[in-house]
Amino acid sequence: MGQYGLLTPLYKLHNSKENKYLCLCDCGNLTETRYSYLTSGHTKSCGCLHFKTGVAVPKNYYKDNNISKRLRYVYDSMLSRCYNKTTINVLADI
């Protein structure tokens, strides 16, 4: 079948209504995704690519999973401190 991004499809899940596949990511994690998402490039990894590239989680992720706006703000602020090169590392002076 080939590789799509960091994912290698292992086999089709038969109990799924959608055309889903179990995939092995290059980082070693297993994930389920639709085949159309693989071929279109919508899904490229198990989620590890977000951490490697510093890209934040999509905004609709929080709405779909009923996570509060406050938590969203805290998470986005944390990411901006982690990946912003101009942020001062306060632990470096200790």
Q: Tell me: the pLDDT tens digits for 2-38?
A: 888 889 999 998 876 778 999 998 888 899 999 899 9
Report pTM. Answer: 0.54
Give buried/exposed letters for 28-47 (b at 16+ CB in 10 A, else e).
eeebebebebbeeeebbbbe
Percent of the chain predicted with pLDDT > 90: 14
* pLDDT tens-place string over residues 33-67: 998 999 998 888 888 777 666 655 555 555 545 55
Strands 7-12 and 30-34: unpaired
